[in-house]
Structure 1
Amino acid sequence: MRVALCQIAATGDPVRNLAAVRAEVDRAADAGARVVVFPEATMAHFGTDLSAIAEPIDGPWASAIARIADEFDVLVVAGMFTPDGARVRNTVIITGLGRHLGYDKIHLYDAFGYRESDTVAPGRDCVTVTVDGVALGIATCYDIRFPALFQRLAEDGASAVLVPTSWGAGEGKADQWEVLVRARALDSGCWVLGCDQADPRTAGIPVQPGAPTGIGRSLVADPSGVVVARLGAEPGMLVTEIDSNAAVAARRRTGVLANRSHAVH
């Protein structure tokens, strides 16, 4: 199955970002992609007043994403924010090909001096979706530091995990990003497809200091942890093929699921 990772630099304006999504989905569909992935916070970058722009997954912004997915006959996966009382949810909308659902980020980024939980409520439920016979798990950014989630998605049938991301910049963070994507692929025997926000500086977009607004470097690791494709810091699109048979073969070789002891959980 062909998947496109669209490494955009989102602005603080959901309408402007929606136009960027449509343009990228058009390009991705032309390249033969069945699944088109965008970063976390595609609706509006971090540093924006999230409560002011949050909408439910049946609201205007997500409904517009659904119409784009239907127009181009693809599954679109993109980060947005949904209301949750005094806070919001960091939600990935998964829409198209007869589906319309959301995944709420489970692990919140209370790290490196940032406190996502001050404004975002955590999710609880794992999400998978099947396209053309390939089961896809969903995770978001900081989730990548928690191997149990990826193993759970693999046990739920996922051959690949899509990871919309807005990775915080800082010393050593780019190296950590690649190591974590590759490690989660090995942990779970899944393809791991990390789609980060482009570095906003490469697109001339002003951001709030300290907000995790992306470093680019989207990449794809196969189920053996080998990087098969990657982007630089600037906006771009990566189109890759994933094969569920490779996940089956990797798990057979390593035994990462069959030999996992639940006694340590």
Structure 2
Amino acid sequence: MRIALSQLTTGPDPQKNLLLIEEWTRRAADAGARVVVFSEASMACFGTPLAPLAEPLDGPWAEGVRAIARDTGTVVVAGMFTPASAGRVANTLLATGPGVETSYDKIHLYDAFGYRESESVASGARITTLDVDGVRLALATCYDVRFPELFRAHADAGAVATLLAASWGAGPGKVDQWELLVRARALDATLWVAAVDQADPGTPSGTAPTGIGHSLVVGPDGTVRERLGADPELLVTDLDVEEVAATRRRISVLANRRPELWS
């Protein structure tokens, strides 16, 4: 399956960001991508007041993404914000395109490194998978990468790849942590992890996470197959779906689990 990771930098204006999504999706479609993955906060960057710009999944911004997916014949995954209770929002990944219509609300909220996402964001409560051309994919968002049980749940649900969208916070050691965690989650669940981060904006961002770039694609054996640097760039790559089954025959970590000891 050919996918594209769109490592761009979004700003505070949802309509301008929608134009970027259209431009990059068309570039990916021209390169033959079937699935085009954008980062967390594609609708608007963190540091922007989220509640006033949040829209439902049938609102105009999501409809704009659907039109782009429909016009290009691709499945588009993009981060947006949807209304939630108590004046908060959900940190949502919309996945839409021919034969696909679903969404994922980020389960693990980024209350770390001096930032408290839970003050403005409500957490999700379910995993999300989608089937594209008979291939099952799963969705995850940024801080989720620190929780291996989610990725094992993706594997248990039949996914051969997790699409991980992020707006990774900068700081000492954060690039190393990003790669280490993505590789570890691929090994934990013996599946592909295609991780797209926002590009490094090149300016200080205070405490709000923006992005560091370094998007990467990791195989089910934990090896890095493709990676980007810090700047905006499009990565188009092919995932070998059959490699997942072959890896699981060699590395039987899922079959060898002993969940009865921890429940």
The more displaced of 252-261 and 226-235 is 252-261
Q: CA–CA distance in 1 between the matches of 2:248 and 2:46? A: 37
Shift in Å, 1:165? 0.3
| Aligned match of 1:92 | 93
3-state SS, counterpart of residue 89 of structure 2 = strand
Shift in Å, 1:29? 0.3
Q: CA–CA distance in 2 between the matches of 1:53 and 1:24? A: 22
Q: Is the 8 A contact 2:218 2:226 kept in 1?
A: yes
Q: CA–CA distance in 2 between the matches of 1:37 and 1:150? A: 18
TM-score, length of structure 1 as denominator length: 0.97
TM-score, length of structure 2 as denominator length: 0.98
| Aligned match of 1:122 | 123
| Aligned match of 1:252 | 249
Percent same amino acid among aligned pairs? 57
Q: Deviations over 1:144-201 (max 9, x none)?
A: 0000000000010000000010000001010000000000000001000000000011
Within 5 Å, give how 1:195-210 maps onto structure 2.
195-201=196-202, 208-210=205-207
| Aligned match of 1:70 | 70
List structure 1 runs of 4+ shifted beyond 2 angstroms.
none
Q: CA–CA distance in 2 between the matches of 1:25 and 1:135? A: 21
Q: Deviations over 1:103-125 (max 9, x none)?
A: 00000000111100000000001
Give the partner amino acid of 1:245. E
Shift in Å, 1:99? 2.1
Give 2:213's match in structure 1, choosing from 213, 216, 235: 216
| Aligned match of 1:264 | 262
Shift in Å, 1:207? 6.4
Unaligned runs of 5+ in 1: none
Q: Is the 8 A contact 1:47 1:207 kept in 2?
A: no
Q: CA–CA distance in 1 between the matches of 2:66 and 2:241? A: 26
Shift in Å, 1:256? 1.4
| Aligned match of 1:146 | 147
Q: Deviations over 1:62-95 (max 9, x none)?
A: 0100010000001000100000021000000000
How many residue pairs get aligned? The number is: 261
Aligned alpha-carbon RMSD (Å)? 0.9
Within 5 Å, give how 1:21-60 maps onto structure 2.
21-60=21-60
Q: CA–CA distance in 2 between the matches of 1:58 and 1:259? A: 43
Give the partner amino acid of 1:15. Q
Unaligned runs of 5+ in 2: none
Q: CA–CA distance in 1 between the matches of 2:187 and 2:12? A: 36
Q: CA–CA distance in 1 between the matches of 2:111 and 2:229? A: 26
